[in-house]
Amino acid sequence: MPYELLILERDGKVATITLNRPDKRNALNTALRDEVRVALEELEGDDSVSVAIITGAGAVFCAGFDTSEFATVPPEQIFSGESSRRYHHRLQHFAKPLVAAINGSAMGGGFDIAVLADLRVAAETASFGHPEIKFGAAALYGPLAAVVGGSVARDLCLSGRRIDAAEALTIGVVNKVVPPADLLREAKALAGVIAEAPLPALRQIKASIVEAAPFRFPAG
């Protein structure tokens, strides 16, 4: 299907989803969340694709939820409504490996995308945080705790502090940090290595990863 707020590209067995609202710092409005969900569903059904990469256009990976929608939609509906539930469920339950190529700031919901991916490659300019706690929105603790452990996740979710790429690597948020110019090349190289395995085997291990998650999003 045609997409307005993201770019979907295929290169052999690897597909790349690029969040494409650079003028809005790739903030997750309802339309973009819905397009991400549909793109993942499309790739899930495409047996020519074994691995997906998700990244952002411009200098920011994703600034989180688009707070401009608060003017017309109650925040609780944005954070926990049907669109949000279906989006988070699809991100976590995507049946193939998902690699996040984090090209810049990953705040709030952008941080959630990163930790809901299976592997994370970050540019040296990347940063992470859950600043939403400061305006009364609770962060998604479960997915972060599954990646970094409960103690670190409590720190980041309760304090809302920002961490840079070097600290993210040290505490296990990301798997690798690279120069910005090398980010997509490194992410595609990693995805290519994963794609060498047969797709049924990748689907099986991804199902095991989802099953083992201590917190799973219900279907919307």
Please state, in angstroms and rounded to a whole number, the distance separating the CA atoms of residues 170 and 192: 25
Please state, in angstroms and rounded to a whole number, the distance separating the CA atoms of residues 109 and 148: 17
Confirm if 112 and 88 have CB atoms less than 8 A apart: yes
Known catalytic membership, residue 196? no
DSSP of 114-181, one letter per residue? HHHSSEEEEETT-EEE-GGGGGT----HHHHHHHH-HHHHHHHHHH---EEHHHHHHHTS-SEEE-GG
Name residues whose C-beta falls within 8 Å of residue 116's C-beta, 6 or more positions apart in sequence. 88, 91, 92, 98, 143
Sign of the Cα pseudo-torsion (55, 57, 59, 62, in order): negative
Active-site hit among 4, 76, 124, 132: 132
Nearest Cα to Cα of residue 174 among 218, 108, 126: 126
Name the residue type at position 54. I
User: Looking at the annotation, which residues are catalytic?
Assistant: 132
